[in-house]
Amino acid sequence: MSDDPRLAAAFPESASLGRRLVAHQLTVAVAESCTGGLLGAALTAAPGASTYVRGGVIAYADTVKIDLLAVDREQLARLGAVSAEVAASMARGVAQLLGADLGIAITGVAGPGAEGTTKPVGLIHVAGWLGGRTEAVELREGGDREANRAAAVRVALGVGLALAGDA
C-alpha cells in the first residue's frame, strides 16, 4: 500500500458531486485562481468524470479573469480579485465559456505571503453559479498554503453539491 495521497480519497465530496450531477444530467466547469487546478484534479479523480466535467480555467492573472471569464474590469479594479463578486463572476463566466450548467470558482490568498494585495493570507472566496442562481462562501483560513487550498476545494465541492441538489 502506498503512502501517496490520493485525490479521490482526500476529496470524497468529488464523487458525491459527480453522482449528483449525473442524477440531474448536469455538467460542471471550474475557474480557479489560488487552487491552481486542484479542484479540477479532484473532480476528475472520480471514475466517469468525463460524463459531467466540461473543463476548467486556471485564472491566476487578472487579464485571464477579464479576457476569458468575462469578469468586469472595473469590478476587478474596485474590489480586487479576492472578493465574492469576482468569484461569482468567474463561476458564471466559466460556465458560459465552456457550456456547462454549473460553474464553480475559487479566488483567494493561499499564502504563505500575500503578494500584490493587502488582503490577508487565508482569505478565499468560493462561488457557484447554476441557471442564474449564485451561492458564495467566504473562508478565513490560516497561513498554511496547502491547507488553505484543500479547504477551498472542499468548500467548492460543497457549493456544487448544494446548487446541484436544488436543480
Per DSSP bridges, beta strands 123-130 and 102-108 are: antiparallel
* CATH architecture of residue range(s) 10-165: Alpha-Beta Complex (3.90)
Domain boundaries, the chain: 10-165
Q: What is the pTM of this model?
A: 0.94
Q: What is the pLDDT of residues 31-42, one digit of tens each?
A: 999 999 999 999
Between 112 and 163, the more confident residue is 163
What contacts 165, CB < 8 A, 6 or more positions away?
A: 20
